[in-house]
């Protein structure tokens, strides 16, 4: 299962970087979204895959009796999802406002508006 997820993560990283190098802002935003999903999946896989075991320790015990899921990577991923969604929404609004103001969506043409 980890090998399949490693291939998926590599595909997400590759397609995200490819879309970041395009001149279209919509493709740039989609590339950001793919990269953030790839990073979230990478953190999740690096933490180890445990299925069906909650991260709880019984009351009288000090240590877990068996393998349990690590809650820290799950909390990090949840925080990263919220932050990446906020950044994605901000980027979409920024590009929309730029298009309404300047009338172009080509990133090379936007360089000439710096003066």
| Residue 42, pLDDT score | 93
Q: Does residue 113 carry a pLDDT above 70? A: no
61-94: buried (b, 16+ CB within 10 Å) or exposed (e) per residue? eeeeeeeebeeebeeebeeeeeebeeeeeeeeee
> What does the mean pLDDT of the chain come to?
86
Domains with residue ranges and CATH for the chain: 2-50+68-114 (1.10.287.3510)
- Residue 115 binned pLDDT confidence (cut-offs 50, 70, 90): low
Mean pLDDT, residues 28-55 taken together: 86
- Residue position matching structure tokens 């015990």: 61
pTM of the model: 0.77
Closest CA to 24 of 84, 86, 95, 88: 95
Mean pLDDT, residues 78-105 taken together: 89
Which residues, at least 6 apart from 39, have a Cβ–Cβ distance to it below 8 Å? 80
H or E element in which residue 82 lies? helix 71-102
Mean pLDDT, residues 51-80 taken together: 81
Tokens of 87: 């950044």
């Amino acid at each position: 299962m980890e090998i399949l997820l490693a291939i998926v993560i590599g595909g997400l990283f590759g397609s995200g970087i490819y879309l970041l190098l395009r001149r279209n802002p919509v493709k740039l935003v989609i590339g950001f979204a793919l990269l953030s999903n790839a990073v979230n999946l990478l953190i999740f896989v690096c933490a180890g895959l445990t299925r069906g075991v909650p991260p709880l320790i019984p009351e009288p015990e000090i240590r877990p009796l068996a393998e349990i899921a690590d809650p820290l990577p799950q909390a990090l991923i949840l925080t990263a999802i919220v932050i990446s969604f906020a950044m994605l929404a901000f980027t979409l609004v920024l590009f929309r406002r730029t298009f309404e103001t300047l009338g172009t969506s080509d990133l090379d043409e936007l360089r000439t508006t710096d003066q």
